[in-house]
Amino acid sequence: AQKVTQAQTEISVVEKEDVTLDCVYETRDTTYYLFWYKQPPSGELVFLIRRNSFDEQNEISGRYSWNFQKSTSSFNFTITASQVVDSAVYFCALSEAGRNFNKFYFGSGTKLNVKP
Amino acid sequence: DTGVSQNPRHKITKRGQNVTFRCDPISEHNRLYWYRQTLGQGPEFLTYFQNEAQLEKSRLLSDRFSAERPKGSFSTLEIQRTEQGDSAMYLCASSLPGRVGEAFFGQGTRLTVV
């Protein structure tokens, strides 16, 4: 069965601090996809990043970066120089490959508070 | 607005009543998904359509729930004989065929059963 765990319920930082959100997943599939989504107070889930199970290369995209480690089943997400507008709930998600793509298994979310 | 549209945004209903929600996906998106999100939790998959065909239903979708997408465009989610446990945010998402992860979510319908 697929499962995503986000142990951090809520994190508070001061603007310009770096913050890392943790994600651990479980799956028996060899091919899968991992994602981070952001949910601001308006409620709409916003796609941030995607990684497939064959690509462990870590990248940086603007102020976002991620650390995918298959050996520990972790997919952590870092925001550099946080801003007040980053305040939201962040969800890590796992998707099957094949026919059921975009059938997401979400973690319980981490609420990020960025204070000025 | 070319995003995923959900109506109504909020619905308050008495226990035992039937409710229906509507989702209008992005034009040309042939996949449409329904998720349910309870307070403090991540969204949970309910069902999805490819065009008008309902390809999978979660065990969360009890007999009181039914979803349709009659012409492969908009979709409706109906809950019959609502219970307080049905109170949640119901999210709709759509995507193009084969576009993994490029699922666009609507702002959801918040249901409160009193």
CB contact under 8 A, A107 and B42: yes
Which one is predicted more confidently, A55 or B81?
Answer: B81
Please state, in angstroms and rounded to a whole number, the distance separating the CA atoms of residues B86 and A62.
40
Contact between residue B23 and residue B77 where contact means Cβ atoms under 8 Å apart: yes
SS3 content of chain B, % helix, strand, coil (to 5): 5, 50, 50
DSSP per-residue codes, A65-115: EEEEEGGGTEEEEEESS--GGG-EEEEEEEEESGGGTT-EEE---EEEEEE
Other beta carbons within 10 angstroms of residue B85's beta carbon come to 9
Average pLDDT on A34-43 reads 91
Alpha-carbon distance B16 to nearest alpha carbon in chain A (angstroms): 27
pLDDT digits (tens, 9 = 90+) for A9-26: 999 999 999 999 999 999
Average pLDDT on B41-58 reads 93
- pLDDT value for B1: 53
Please state, in angstroms and rounded to a whole number, the distance separating the CA atoms of residues B58 and B47.
6
CB contact under 8 A, A95 and B100: yes
Average pLDDT on B91-95 reads 94
CA distances from B114 to A46, B52, B63 (A): 30, 33, 21
pLDDT digits (tens, 9 = 90+) for B73-86: 999 999 999 999 99
Please state, in angstroms and rounded to a whole number, the distance separating the CA atoms of residues A5 and A18.
21
CB contact under 8 A, B93 and A97: no
AA letter at B45: F
* Mean pLDDT over the full length of chain B: 93
| End-to-end CA separation in angstroms for chain B | 33
A37 token code pair: 């989504």
Which chain A residues are closer than 8 Å to B40 by Cβ? 108-109
CB contact under 8 A, A44 and B107: yes
- pLDDT value for B47: 95
* Mean pLDDT over the full length of chain A: 92
User: Hey, is the C-beta of B35 within 8 angstroms of any chain A C-beta?
Assistant: yes
Alpha carbon dihedral B59, A9, A85, A17, in 10-degree steps, equals -140
Strand partners, B88: B111
Please state, in angstroms and rounded to a whole number, the distance separating the CA atoms of residues B76 and B22.
5
Alpha-carbon distance B81 to nearest alpha carbon in chain A (angstroms): 26
User: Hey, is the C-beta of B23 within 8 angstroms of any chain A C-beta?
Assistant: no
- pLDDT value for B62: 86
pLDDT digits (tens, 9 = 90+) for A82-94: 999 999 999 999 9
HSE-CB of B96 using CA atoms within 13 angstroms: 4
CB contact under 8 A, B42 and A35: no
Which one is predicted more confidently, A106 or A98?
Answer: A106
Contact between residue B26 and residue B34 where contact means Cβ atoms under 8 Å apart: no
